[in-house]
Amino acid sequence: MEKLESALNEILKTGKGNSILLELDAELYFKTIIKAIKKLQKKGLSGIYVSTQRPFKNISSLLKKEGININKIIFIDVASAASKEAQEKCKGCVHISPELDVDELVEAIYNSAEKMKGKKFIFIDSITTFALYKPISESLRFSEFLISQVKGKKDIILILNVAKDLSQKKFIRDVVMRADKTIEIKD
């Protein structure tokens, strides 16, 4: 967590290196995410949480239980779309269509970011789960596009999550090459 702390401090100070790939222990995955979000909020950032792993109701209630201010987060519910579940309209949640079209998803992220004032983060949870449903080329295009979009912007931090055991996958190595930093979190 210290590495993430210093990386965030550097980005917020200099505006440089604002795309981060987080390698998380699969067993402590969600606990680590909570810590990371808390850290981001403590630094005054609002955020966009692209949730491919958990549906909106689950992720938002768990984060709320952990004391995270979910009013400062817009959730993009990819998990419900991927499992083709009925999508209820909820405050703070953006739905996308079950095709999981990369362009539609990028547009949803962009539009959500536009609605937020001040410094913000985009949290992709996770890129490997997204890749279960889309060809590797599309998942890579998605990551690359986001990385290129945030480059040089002082008010935005992009965080892409990946479980440590999956970080050796070929396409994740490609993402590592393009992201500004890779941080392995052990605690």
> For residues 8 and 17, what is the distance between their CA atoms, to the nearest angstrom?
9
Closest approach of another protein to the CB of residue 25, in Å: 9
> Least distance to another protein from the beta carbon of 79, Å?
5
Residue in 164, 174, 176, 178 binding another protein, rule: CB under 8 A: 164
DSSP for 28-93?
Answer: GHHHHHHHHHHHHHHTT-EEEEEESSS-HHHHHHHHHHTT--GGGEEEEEHHHHHTT------TTE
Query: Please, which residues have CB within 8 angstroms of residue 26's CB and are 6 or more apart in sequence?
Result: 163, 164, 165, 166
Go through 111-132 and write b for each residue having 16 or more CB atoms within 10 A of its CB, e for each that does not. Answer: ebbeebeebbbbbbbbbbbbbe
At residue 100, the 3 state secondary structure works out as coil
**Nearest approach, Cβ of residue 54 and another protein (Å):** 6
Verify binding: residue 99, another protein, rule CB under 8 A: no
Q: What is the contact mask toward another protein in residues 110 to 149, using x (rule: CB under 8 A)?
A: ----------------x-xx--xx----------------
Q: How many residues bind another protein (CB under 8 A)?
A: 26
At its nearest, how many Å lie between another protein and the CB of residue 48? 20
Is the sign of the CA dihedral 72, 131, 185, 10 positive or negative?
A: negative
Q: CA 118: distance to chain centroid?
A: 18
- For position 171 contacting another protein by CB under 8 A, the verdict is no
The footprint of another protein on residues 35-94 (CB under 8 A) is 53-55, 57-58, 79-80, 82-85
For another protein, which stretch binds (CB under 8 A), given 35-43, 93-101, 111-119, 163-171? 163-171
Residues of this chain that interact with another protein (CB under 8 A) are: 24, 26-27, 29-30, 53-55, 57-58, 79-80, 82-85, 126, 128-129, 132-133, 163-166, 169
